[in-house]
Amino acid sequence: MKRLWLAGVLVLSLSGCSTGVPTGVPGVEQMGATVLRYQGPEVELALGYRFATLSLGDEWLMLDLAITAAPGKVVEVKRDGVFVLTPGGERLPLASQEQFAQAYAALQPTLRRAALAADPLGYFNREIPCALGFFAAPGEGLVYPSVHLDDRRVCEGRLYFFVPGGIQAGRWTLGIDLVETQVRVPFVLKAR
């Protein structure tokens, strides 16, 4: 009986614990050196920015994203509602598919390095995986203007932003404007 009681106390005490480190931004936790997790009223997401930390000076910012709807929600994420804020406060939209396709051949070595540096983003217990579908290699798939999320699917993909003048060190922010919520996930790129 005493063992059962101790096991129950242990389970209850651990059930409220998070493995993430609070960042000072409501809903955002640091899950690893270059992974953030956001939990909000409409969506939950994991953001990987390891390759971005290795790409200071490059003109293409690449972020890895896994996103799902909050429990009980159905949400549409529109491509034109996704952006980053630079350390200087400039708002940069997702690159267009046309920009990405034009740069694709030149980006091949960078894309291979990014694939190797990607953080695992499997922080969600969802049944159905899906692709974001905002970008596709030329001739290899369809691109969609939005993705529909529910609480059974987690959609993963890479976000591409063209950064005129190159990526600078400092505090960046991933932004996603939804119907009810403005998601803001700040991350810091440091010079090595």
List domains and CATH numbers for the chain.
19-189 (2.60.40)
Query: What is the pLDDT at residue 78?
Result: 98
Query: What is the pLDDT at residue 157?
Result: 94
- Residue (of 171, 178, 142, 154) closest to 49 by Cα position: 171
Query: What is the pLDDT at residue 126?
Result: 78
Instruction: Please write the tens of the pLDDT for every residue from 13-69.
Output: 333 344 677 777 889 999 999 999 999 999 999 999 999 999 999 999 999 999 999
Query: What is the pLDDT at residue 19?
Result: 64
CB-CB neighbours of 71 under 10 Å:
8
Chain centroid offset of residue 24 CA? 18
Overall average pLDDT of the 9-13 stretch: 35
Confidence category of residue 11, pLDDT binned at 50, 70, 90: very low
Instruction: Please write the tens of the pLDDT for every residue from 80-94.
Output: 999 999 999 999 999
Query: What is the pLDDT at residue 100?
Result: 96
Report whether 172 contacts 87 (CB < 8 A).
Answer: yes
Tokens of 117: 């540096």
Q: Say what the pTM is.
A: 0.86
Query: What is the pLDDT at residue 10?
Result: 35
Residue 4: pLDDT above 80?
Answer: no
Confidence category of residue 71, pLDDT binned at 50, 70, 90: very high
What's the CA gap between 176 and 169, in Å, rounded? 22
Instruction: Please write the tens of the pLDDT for every residue from 113-172.
Output: 888 888 888 888 877 889 999 999 999 989 999 999 999 999 999 999 999 999 999 999
Query: What is the pLDDT at residue 120?
Result: 86
